């Protein structure tokens, strides 16, 4: 879910080529990136254009449906930023309780 919204925001900011999107998600392999881009495409949130060049160039764009999701992503990110410390403390506290 987090990668999906990161990709949508990146594409909205004009980062449209897979190689550039990959740099936004260093922890994701190219295969994972492609799976997530295909998932976004299947949900009608992005469209993919393949330019008949050598080597072929691929670019992604937000669809209207994808664009309509940006305010929701914004609300989620604001919540995350506001509550990051409380979330981290909860996770840290609960991890301490786990039997090691």
By beta-carbon proximity to its own copies, the closer residue of 23 and 74 is 74
Does the CA dihedral 80-81-86-87 come out positive or negative? positive
Asked if 65 touches its own copies (CB under 8 A), the answer is: yes
Q: Helices 70-97 and 2-12 sit at what angle, rounded to 10 degrees?
A: 150
Asked if 57 touches its own copies (CB under 8 A), the answer is: no
What is the DSSP track for 4-43? HHHHHHHHHTT--SHHHHHHH-TTS-HHHHHHHHHHHHHT
Asked if 35 touches its own copies (CB under 8 A), the answer is: no
By beta-carbon proximity to its own copies, the closer residue of 32 and 72 is 72
Asked if 72 touches its own copies (CB under 8 A), the answer is: yes
DSSP symbol at 100: -
CB 9 within 8 A of CB 24: no
Asked if 79 touches its own copies (CB under 8 A), the answer is: yes
By beta-carbon proximity to its own copies, the closer residue of 54 and 92 is 92
Residues that bind its own copies (CB under 8 A): 1, 41-45, 65, 68-69, 71-72, 75-76, 79, 82-83, 86-87, 89-91, 93-95
């Amino acid at each position: 879910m987090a990668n999906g919204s990161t990709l949508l925001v990146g594409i909205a900011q004009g980062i449209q080529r897979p190689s550039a999107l990959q740099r936004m998600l260093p922890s994701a392999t190219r295969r994972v990136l492609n799976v997530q881009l295909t998932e976004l495409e299947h949900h009608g949130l992005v469209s993919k254009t393949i330019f008949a060049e050598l080597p072929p160039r691929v670019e992604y764009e937000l669809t209207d449906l994808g664009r309509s999701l940006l305010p929701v992503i914004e609300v989620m990110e604001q919540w995350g930023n506001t509550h990051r410390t409380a979330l981290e403390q909860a996770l840290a506290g609960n991890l301490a309780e786990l039997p090691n």
